[in-house]
Structure 1
Amino acid sequence: MSIEVGSKLQGKVTGITNFGAFVELPGNITGLVHISEVADNYVKDINEHLKVGDEVQVKVINVEKDGKIGLSIKKASETYREPQQRSNQQRPKKQRDDFRPKENFEQKMARFLKDSEDRLASLKRNTESKRGGRGARRG
């Protein structure tokens, strides 16, 4: 039996590792379901989702030249939807209020230095008064 990318098959989990699960497909062919392809949400421990001997439906997502077969359980489910790619035309247009004229390096550096000095002055004001530094009242 030839395994083709995109086909959905029934398989049996034969082994579990920390990075995925090995699934035996029809014809005694084994493929790997990577941990990121087990469920729609984040999977910390694959043992919470699969056990050796479980029957699972998988979708073939790649077949490499050396014979390795990549499988996905989440893409085999009926509820899975492919994420849509956004083209440049679909991006929302920037509002006029968001427009900032291009700054050259010197202008950016001057703005950075001013912001940095303001933050340092504020930080010094707040910390000196708390630890009794210069100019702080005592007693």
Structure 2
Amino acid sequence: MSIQVGSVVEGKVTGIKSFGAFVEIAEGQTGLVHISQVSHTFVNDINDVMKVGDVVQVKVLNVEGGKISLSVKETQPKPEGSDRPRRGGNTNSKGPKSGGGGKKQSSGPTSYKTEGSNEPFNTMEDQLKEWAKKAGMV
């Protein structure tokens, strides 16, 4: 039987390692389910999710050089809200803004005004002193 990329097959877990599980899928052919492909949620220890002897549905992700990459999570529906952007990701689909060259140009020292005061401060030390004064620490 030829293994087709994209097909969903049943297999039996034959081995567990910290990085994933080995699953026998057909005629003695074994593939790897990487730990990142076990579940839609974070898996710290694969032993919490799978054990040797488990029968699982897997999707064939890749067949290359005799190595078969499998996924359990691709056979399961995505949890609700999983299509949210990740933290730190770029949510601007238009790409970087043009005209800036990617670097902010400095025009020299900047002075800031504290809340309720017209007096500027130039350093973090000045701001900390101001906050300490407002907090009654000085």
TM-score of the superposed pair, with normalisation by structure 1: 0.66
Return the letter of the residue paired with 1:30. T
Matches of 1:71 and 1:83, distance apart in 2: 22
Q: After the TM superposition, which segments of 4 or more aligned residues of structure 1 sit over 6 Å from their partners?
A: none
| Equivalent residue letter for 1:15 | G
In percent, how many aligned pairs have the same letter?
A: 45
Q: 1:26 to 1:39 in 2, by over 3 A?
A: same
Matches of 1:124 and 1:49, distance apart in 2:
53
C-alpha change, 1:21 and 1:104, in structure 2 (3 Å) is closer
Alpha-carbon separation, structure 2, partners of 1:43 and 1:18: 11
**Partner of residue 72, structure 2:** 73
Superposed counterparts of 1:1-139, under 5 Å: 1-64=1-64, 66-77=65-76, 79-80=77-78, 91=93, 105-107=105-107, 109-111=108-110, 114=111, 117-125=122-130, 126=132, 130=137, 136=138
Number of equivalences: 112
Distance in 1 between the 2:67 and 2:104 partners? Answer: 52
Separation in structure 2 between the aligned mates of residue 83 and residue 2 of structure 1, nearest angstrom: 33
Q: CA deviation at 1:119?
A: 3.0
Deviations along 1:79-114, whole A, 9 cap, x unmatched? 248969xxxxx949xxxxxxxx9696133x544xx3
Structure with greater helix percent: 1
Unaligned runs of 5+ in 1: 85-89, 93-100, 131-135
Listed one character per residue, the Cα deviations across residues 43-95 of structure 1 (whole Å, up to 9, x for unaligned) are: 1111111010000000001111x211110001012x248969xxxxx949xxx
Listed as ranges, the gaps of 5+ residues in structure 2 are 85-91, 113-120
Q: Please, what is the CA RMSD of the aligned residues? A: 3.2
Q: CA deviation at 1:4?
A: 1.3
TM-score (norm 2): 0.67
